[in-house]
Amino acid sequence: MSDAPALVELRGISKSYGGVHALKDVSFAIRKASVHALVGENGAGKSTIVKTLTGVIHADEGQIVIDGEAASIPDPPAAYRLGILAMYQEPTVFQDLTVAENVFAGRHPRTRAGTVDWSTIRRRAKQLLGELGADFGPDRPVRGLGVADRQLLEIAKALSSEARLLIMDEPTAALSPPEVERLFDIVRGLKERGVSIVFISHRLEEVEAISDTVTILRDGTHVATRPTAGLPRSEMVQLMVGRSLDQLFPKEEAEIGDVVLRAEGLGRRGVFADVSFEIRRGEIVGLAGFVGAGRTEVARALFGIDRLDAGKVSIDGRGFRPRSPRKALRRGLAYLPEDRLTQGLIQPLSISTNTSLAVLPELTPLGFLRPRAERALARRFMEQLRIRAFGPSQVVRSLSGGNQQKVVLSKWLAAEPRILILDEPTHGVDVGTKADVHRTISHLAAQGLSILLISSELPEILGMSDRVLVMREGRLVAEIGRADATQERVVAAAAGIAEAA
């Protein structure tokens, strides 16, 4: 198997964003009819490789060789024509169209008259869905399908075309264990048909179970490509991390005080139920669980973005009904959203404008903005959070991802909140920035802030939190103190596996 010829070869691929290297001279080969795992921490460069292969971005240097010939992939349609397909974490489907049409969107089969051949579309979609063991029909609209079902749909799409390389980016993140098993069966079936699969997952046991070859990336560099069989998990971890956990997460000791926020029996119909917890002064509470477990939804409801259907919240012992973000801010609650680029920042404006957004009333005593106070505020946070920029007037769009994240953080810190909800605060930032963000979080807690930290990165949760809450399928399933919190315990709770003693 390992001497099968290469389908895709990356040769010396480099890519940088505004001086930060996302990929540095990465070379490896993906063999035909094999499952090739890509592992590495967040920010290691996995998604940059995916984007390069699918034509979303272009490498600064290096070459992609397909079937022994240099290939150029200028845009996603070109990748599609080469038989390279990617399934993203959140499947990209057409909500308004039926399942069957989604499978063939953009390349409808035609009758001899050149019209859309609906009977073929329905028949082939039905057949493909049957092969994949889907329990939904071809005629229903996609709107309302769950993540697992939409993934099946994406796979059906890939099967219906001449896919030669299927990239699965964290396909199991939102799946339950039986769904993962079913997905693996499908992946093995695809391999038998001669399709190569790039499999990206944070769960190393899945990598061991499904992949033939592993490529390990760290900070944008290629560390190793080896057969999975000869690579013990411990060694994989060592290669991925390359450093010990303590270095990564410098947690300051904080004095833990009274309960600041108490949530009792929170629920939102069809999303989460019976969520109760409390956060104390100076405490960092980690909220762990797989994507789709309902963590972000709880945070959004607390902050007044989505409506709560059940439950009570109190801040400092006084009742609080989350109705709008504005009200939440006034009670000292701030929320740093997961998708910082769309929800957290106004891209075309400057750092200082963005920083002052949540505190404008304080900066406009007579109805006129005081620009000097605004700039001073921005400078204070630029220093405190080490934001790399020319000055407060630099436009946010031109900053790197990590620095943008810090600007969002300053925006909320400027409001001087007492409870801060952080949703994936280091998603997609480089290692250096990550350490800065962690240092800041820890420092804020030491100053008496209460923090709810939502993260999919276990090391981050374990390193930062005083207490870890675990959610699964819309419910809080475990609460683990810092001393007892291990990777295994948290994963077991999140996956609903009874703990092995």
- With binding defined as CB under 8 A, does residue 105 bind another protein? yes
Task: Name the amino acid, one letter, at 168.
Answer: M
Can you tell me the distance from the alpha carbon of 130 to that of 254, in angstroms, rounded to the nearest whole number? 56
- Candidates 62, 76, 428, 459; binder of another protein (CB under 8 A) is 76
- Which tokens hold the place of 362? 């304080």
Smallest distance from another protein to CB 227, Å: 32
Smallest distance from another protein to CB 108, Å: 4
Looking at the Cβ atoms of 150 and 467, the one nearer to another protein is 150
Smallest distance from another protein to CB 270, Å: 4
- Candidates 160, 473, 477, 495; binder of another protein (CB under 8 A) is 473
5-13, 105-113, 171-179, 180-188 -> range binding another protein (CB under 8 A): 105-113
b/e for 182-213, b at 16 or more Cβ within 10 A? bbbebbeebbeeebbbbbbbbbbebbbebbbb
Beta carbons within 8 Å of 398's beta carbon, 6+ residues apart: 18
**Residues 238-267 vs another protein: string with x where CB under 8 A?**
-----------------------------x
- Which tokens hold the place of 278? 């409390």
Taking a C-beta distance cutoff of 8 angstroms, is the pair 75, 55 a contact? yes
Looking at the Cβ atoms of 45 and 474, the one nearer to another protein is 474
- With binding defined as CB under 8 A, does residue 496 bind another protein? no
110-118, 205-213, 326-334, 380-388 -> range binding another protein (CB under 8 A): 110-118
Smallest distance from another protein to CB 6, Å: 25
- With binding defined as CB under 8 A, does residue 81 bind another protein? yes
Looking at the Cβ atoms of 103 and 190, the one nearer to another protein is 103
Residue 162 phi, psi (nearest 5): -90, 55
Looking at the Cβ atoms of 145 and 453, the one nearer to another protein is 145
Q: How many CB atoms lie within 10 A of CB 310?
A: 14
CA distances from 185 to 125, 175, 215, 222, 305 (A): 19, 14, 22, 29, 39
Element (H, E) at 462: helix 458-464
Looking at the Cβ atoms of 48 and 213, the one nearer to another protein is 48
113-121, 376-384, 397-405, 442-450 -> range binding another protein (CB under 8 A): 113-121
- With binding defined as CB under 8 A, does residue 342 bind another protein? no
- With binding defined as CB under 8 A, does residue 68 bind another protein? no
Smallest distance from another protein to CB 250, Å: 38
Looking at the Cβ atoms of 115 and 234, the one nearer to another protein is 115
What is the rounded radius of gyration, in angstroms, for the C-alpha atoms of the chain?
24
- Per CB under 8 A, contacts with another protein among 306-325 are 308-311
Can you tell me the distance from the alpha carbon of 329 to that of 289, in angstroms, rounded to the nearest whole number? 26
Taking a C-beta distance cutoff of 8 angstroms, is the pair 454, 296 a contact? yes
Closest CA to 257 of 297, 316, 330: 316
- Candidates 268, 280, 281, 406; binder of another protein (CB under 8 A) is 268
18-26, 106-114, 207-215, 223-231 -> range binding another protein (CB under 8 A): 106-114
Taking a C-beta distance cutoff of 8 angstroms, is the pair 441, 451 a contact? yes
Looking at the Cβ atoms of 17 and 88, the one nearer to another protein is 88
**Residues 40-59 vs another protein: string with x where CB under 8 A?**
--------------x-----
271-279, 382-390, 395-403, 484-492 -> range binding another protein (CB under 8 A): 271-279
- With binding defined as CB under 8 A, does residue 289 bind another protein? no
Query: How many residues in the shown chain lie near another protein by CB under 8 A?
Result: 38
Closest CA to 426 of 446, 449, 442: 442
Residue 59 phi, psi (nearest 5): -65, 145
Looking at the Cβ atoms of 144 and 371, the one nearer to another protein is 144
Looking at the Cβ atoms of 241 and 310, the one nearer to another protein is 310
Distance from the first to the final alpha carbon of the chain: 38
- Per CB under 8 A, contacts with another protein among 130-159 are 140-141, 143-144, 146
- Candidates 43, 138, 286, 474; binder of another protein (CB under 8 A) is 474
Smallest distance from another protein to CB 174, Å: 11
Give the dihedral of Cα atoms 312, 317, 321, 324; nearest 10 deg: -130
Can you tell me the distance from the alpha carbon of 166 to that of 168, in angstroms, rounded to the nearest whole number? 6
Taking a C-beta distance cutoff of 8 angstroms, is the pair 327, 333 a contact? no
* Collapsed DSSP state (helix, strand, coil) of residue 299: helix
Beta carbons within 8 Å of 346's beta carbon, 6+ residues apart: 353, 354, 357, 396
Which runs of E-coded beta strand occur in 201-283? 213-218, 221-227, 259-268, 272-280
Q: Where along the sequence are the contacts to another protein (CB under 8 A)?
A: 54, 76-77, 80-81, 92-97, 101, 105-108, 110, 114-116, 140-141, 143-144, 146, 267-273, 308-311, 473-474
